Structure 1
Amino acid sequence: MISDEAYEEALGNAGELLGRTLELPLSPGEPASGADFRKVATAHAFADSWPRTALSTHDRALVSVAVTATLGAFEPLRGQLRIAMNNGVTKDEVVDLFIHLAAYAGVARAFETYQIALEVFAEQPDTAGGS
């Protein structure tokens, strides 16, 4: 099982990447053991994977957007897009990523998941140059 210390470290890393606290409340009807799943998944992603250094945070964010978009994982994609935008990835880079995704994962999947990107773009302040 994941130690409380490792989980707190993961939550801290996630909050730094997102620019806000990561909240993972149990859903209505979810058993208490659902908290264990959230703890394991959060620690694996944000204490094991994200802190590695061979890829920059910027590049890791782009890879994470590409993977979640390709899988059609809408909720994780929203989070990965927020992380990307909070860590220097520009809107133009995201658009180019989706153009590339259309070539390799299919236009239908790219178009469908690009709609999530548009929602996250709308959350971002407007800046000059498409950033």
Structure 2
Amino acid sequence: MKNRPILSTAKENYDDLAPTFVEYTEKVLFGDVWRRENLSLRDRSLITISALITAEHLNQLPYHLNLAHENGLSNEEIIETITHLAFYVGWPRAASALDIIKKEESGT
């Protein structure tokens, strides 16, 4: 059984600008890659969050933090992951990710 479908925000954000990008996002990334059953959605979220923080692609982090919660990760697990990453990818990257979580929690 394949993982459940993931809803993308690509269409609402980029459809007028980059329809092919939206198509690839919805059909390939979230329609195929995320649905493969060799990894759970929870694991895929954990990997994705780690990769985004490592590469300092923090603009995408809020979406993936929300998705991680939907996929069963608790805030405590996410924060522990970021704390662990700090030793491997750098304190500033981890602190920036924690700032995003703090901002999301406060609603600002």
What is the TM-score normalised by the length of structure 2? 0.80
Letter of the structure 2 residue corresponding to residue 86 of structure 1: E
Larger Rg: 1
Q: CA deviation at 1:122?
A: 4.2
- 2:18: which partner in 1? 34
C-alpha separation in 1, matches of 2:26 and 2:58? 17
- Percent identity of paired positions between Structure 1 and Structure 2: 24
* Runs of 5+ unmatched residues, structure 2: none
Does residue 1:25 correspond to 2:12, yes or no? Answer: yes
For each residue in 1:42-67, what CA deviation from the matched residue of structure 2 results, as whole angstroms up to 9, or x when unmatched?
Answer: 32210121111121111111111111
**3-state SS, counterpart of residue 77 of structure 2:** helix
- 1:129: which partner in 2? none
Judged with a 3 Å threshold, the aligned counterparts in structure 2 of structure 1 residues 111 and 40 are, in CA distance, closer, same or farther, namely same
Q: CA deviation at 1:104?
A: 0.7
Contact (CA 8 Å) 1:98, 1:110: kept in 2 or not? yes
1:3-14 mapped onto 2 (5 Å cutoff):
13-14=5-6
**3-state SS, counterpart of residue 82 of structure 2:** helix
C-alpha separation in 2, matches of 1:48 and 1:120? 29
Judged with a 3 Å threshold, the aligned counterparts in structure 2 of structure 1 residues 87 and 120 are, in CA distance, closer, same or farther, namely farther
- The number of residues matched between the two structures is 104
What is the TM-score normalised by the length of structure 1? 0.67
| 2:100 aligns with one of 93, 105, 116 | 116
| 2:52 aligns with one of 68, 89, 93 | 68
Letter of the structure 2 residue corresponding to residue 22 of structure 1: T
**3-state SS, counterpart of residue 11 of structure 2:** coil
Does residue 1:47 correspond to 2:39, yes or no? Answer: no
C-alpha separation in 2, matches of 1:122 and 1:13? 29
C-alpha separation in 1, matches of 2:103 and 2:26? 24
Q: CA deviation at 1:78?
A: 1.2
Q: Cα RMSD between the aligned structures?
A: 2.4
